[in-house]
């Protein structure tokens, strides 16, 4: 081989060595490769997703709206120009609490009359429709309507009542205008941090004072049947309800202690994974709050608005309850993390109004009630509310704003 070819071969060999093209990967003449730099403690880790804050909201509930004639007279006296009646001033002292709730639920016990009347009191009620506007102005979002007076004015009374609530922007549950409405669960979307909370509202009564269903249409009012209540709650949950609240019109009138139906049925219903809170009405006097298995039962909240023939006794005393629901972000379930109660008092002498009892005593504005009478209402209500272990379970007096 001549010198030129020998030099060319040497150059080619050198280029092959430089390129790492030896006979195999272990060729000591192969160019070394540079390994990837190992991760060090200074290498930034991926940013974890922030844990969302739990959603939370408050629910306020009150007792019976039972429209006696004395309330109409006061509403006429409080009416402004062009108004026939205005019930809102009678509720003014509790409006800040009601308006501050995420969801406020009233119990409209009586059917409503046409505008202008005629109006009727006991025993077959037909109340002024202006009450619906007043309830909405006070801050209520929904009303339960299943009661022993649901059929007092027949099918027309049921239809008129629900039409009036619709016009006032109030959701409702417990009675129906059509079979389809009777099968429809009431869902209310409640504002909370993040996505709104879906609250389902159910309502049932022990009976209708012996008044038959209008035209045999039994679907017009919901009766307390445990199987039906549990099935409706399960449907509500399947439809996406985060919280299910059942309102029950039950108990013995004017008796503070829960009766057998209440004490037997409450544990069965509240044990359901589909029911989160039970609210009671009908007794017209305050009944206890009880925590059963970690969930709350309010057996009876007395009256919100009423003027009975014997007004100065316990029938003039009512209860406002407020429950704080908080989400478990891991499971998505909501539980009550705070249970509060507020004694109320309905004055009898004009001007008729509902008093926030602790606020009235603290501020000295007791209306036409005496301070001594309000202290009696406060003490009796507190004793009854806590008589079934409520204090040990965490029930506390609500502090007025």
pLDDT tens, position by position, 175-219: 999 999 999 999 999 999 779 999 999 999 999 999 999 999 999
pLDDT for the residue numbered 373: 96
Q: Looking at the whole model, is its pTM more than 0.85? A: yes
Q: What is the mean pLDDT of residues 161-176?
A: 98
Query: pLDDT by residue (tens digit) across 278-326?
Result: 999 999 999 999 999 999 999 999 999 999 877 679 999 999 999 999 9
Question: Quick check: 1 pLDDT over 60?
Answer: no
Q: Residue 142 above 90 pLDDT?
A: yes
Q: Report pLDDT for 50.
A: 64
Instruction: Tell me the mean pLDDT in the region 167-176.
Output: 98
280: CB partners within 8 A, 6+ apart: 247, 248, 249, 250, 251, 262, 287, 297, 298, 299, 300, 301
- Ranges of each domain in the chain: 56-397
CATH class given for the domain over 56-397: alpha beta
Calpha distance 248→338 (Å, rounded): 22
For residue 324 the two structure tokens come to: 């704080």
The span from the first CA to the last CA of the chain, in angstroms, equals 108
pLDDT tens profile 121-130: 999 999 999 9
**86-95 pLDDT, tens per residue?**
999 999 999 9
pLDDT exceeds cutoff 60 at 31: no
């Amino acid at each position: 081989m001549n010198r030129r070819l020998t030099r060319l071969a040497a150059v080619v060999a050198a280029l092959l060595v430089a390129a790492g093209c030896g006979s195999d990967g272990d060729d000591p003449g192969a160019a070394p490769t540079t390994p990837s730099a190992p991760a060090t403690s200074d290498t930034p880790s991926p940013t974890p997703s922030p844990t969302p804050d739990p959603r939370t909201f408050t629910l306020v509930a009150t007792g019976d709206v039972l429209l006696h004639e004395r309330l109409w007279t006061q509403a006429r006296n409080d009416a402004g120009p062009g108004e026939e009646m205005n019930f809102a001033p009678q509720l003014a002292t509790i409006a800040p609490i009601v308006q501050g709730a995420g969801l406020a639920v009233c119990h409209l016990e009586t059917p409503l009359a046409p505008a202008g009347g005629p109006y009727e009191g006991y025993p077959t009620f037909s109340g002024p429709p202006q009450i619906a506007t007043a309830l909405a102005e006070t801050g209520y979002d929904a009303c339960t309507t299943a009661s022993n007076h649901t059929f007092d004015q027949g099918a027309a009374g049921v239809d008129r009542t629900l039409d009036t609530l619709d016009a006032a922007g109030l959701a409702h549950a417990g009675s129906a205008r059509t079979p389809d409405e009777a099968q429809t669960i009431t869902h209310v979307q409640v504002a909370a941090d993040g996505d709104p909370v879906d609250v389902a509202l159910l309502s049932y009564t022990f009976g209708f004072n012996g008044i038959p269903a209008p035209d045999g249409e039994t679907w017009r009012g919901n009766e307390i049947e445990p199987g039906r209540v549990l099935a409706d709650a399960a449907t509500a949950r399947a439809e996406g309800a985060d919280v299910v609240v059942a309102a029950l019109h039950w108990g013995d009138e004017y008796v503070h202690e829960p009766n057998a139906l209440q004490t037997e049925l409450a544990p069965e219903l509240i044990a359901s994974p589909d029911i989160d809170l039970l609210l009671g009405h009908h007794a017209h006097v305050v009944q206890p709050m009880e925590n059963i298995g970690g969930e709350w039962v309010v057996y009876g909240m007395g009256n919100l608005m009423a003027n009975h023939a014997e007004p100065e006794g316990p029938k003039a005393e009512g209860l406002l309850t407020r429950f704080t629901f908080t989400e478990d972000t891991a499971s998505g379930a909501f539980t009550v993390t705070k249970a509060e109660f507020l004694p109320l008092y309905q004055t009898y002498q004009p001007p008729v109004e509902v008093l926030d009892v602790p606020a009235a005593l603290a501020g000295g504005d007791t209306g036409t009630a005496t301070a001594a009478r309000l202290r009696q209402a406060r003490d009796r209500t507190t004793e009854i509310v806590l008589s079934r272990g409520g204090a040990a379970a965490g029930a506390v007096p609500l502090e007025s704003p």
